[in-house]
Amino acid sequence: MGMFKYYNQPHAEIFIFDDFLIKQVKEGQLISYEETEKLKELLDKHFKNKKVAYIANRVHSFSINPMVYKEAEKIPNLIAVAIIPGSESMRANAEFEKKFYSKPYGIFDSLTDAVKWVKGILDKENSNNK
């Protein structure tokens, strides 16, 4: 499960692993439809024809248009989203955002818990497709 790619983009750091990615948005950024398009490009590049999960490690404060979840839902190989909020207000935001996403969506206290959860979902999804 080693990391095989790292991106330091103007809006976020992105860590690509075998079957999931971790994104840490930088302080003060706004996540909008443009960022969803960039996510789609990354998924096409690294996870073409492969199920993938997205982990948001929210260590910084930023804004997000919750409607991006409706766009992310349309990505066929994106099967789950995990959020690790860095504060109670970030947790409240993540709870609100959950209303906009109908695929598996979890909120966790640690990166370890989030990775375990997405691995379980990926394992279940992969065993269902055999």
Give residue-wise pLDDT tens across range 77-90: 999 999 999 999 99
Q: Report yes or no on 127 lying in a domain.
A: yes
Q: In the structure, what pLDDT confidence band is assigned to residue 49 with cuts at 50, 70 and 90?
A: confident
Q: What pLDDT score does 91 carry?
A: 95
Mean pLDDT, rounded, of the chain: 91
In a domain, 77, yes or no: yes
CA distance 100 to 70: 6
Side-chain-side CA neighbours of 127 within 13 Å: the count stands at 6
pLDDT at 126 over 80: no
Nearest CA-CA partner of 16 in 35, 2, 26, 33 = 2
Q: Would 90 be classed as within a structural domain?
A: yes
pLDDT in tens, 100-109: 999 999 999 9
| pLDDT tens digits, 1-39 | 565 899 998 889 999 999 999 999 998 888 888 888 888
Residue 106 domain-assigned (yes or no): yes
Q: How far apart (Å, rounded) are the C-alpha atoms in residues 81 and 104? A: 6
What is the extent of the structural domain holding 128? 47-130
φ, ψ dihedrals at 93, nearest 5°: -60, -45
* Domain presence at residue 40: no
Question: What pLDDT was estimated at residue 3?
Answer: 59
SS3 content of the chain, % helix, strand, coil (to 5): 40, 30, 30
Does 24 reside within a domain?
A: no
27 lies in some domain:
no
Angle at 111 between CA 107 and CA 117, to 5 degrees: 60
Residue 18 domain-assigned (yes or no): no
pLDDT score recorded for residue 61? 87
Residue 130 reports pLDDT greater than 70 = no
% of the chain with per-residue pLDDT over 70 = 96
Give the residue among 63, 101, 62, 66 at the shortest CA–CA distance from 82: 101
Rounded to whole angstroms, how far apart are CA atoms 126 and 51? 8
Number of domains present in the structure of the chain: 1
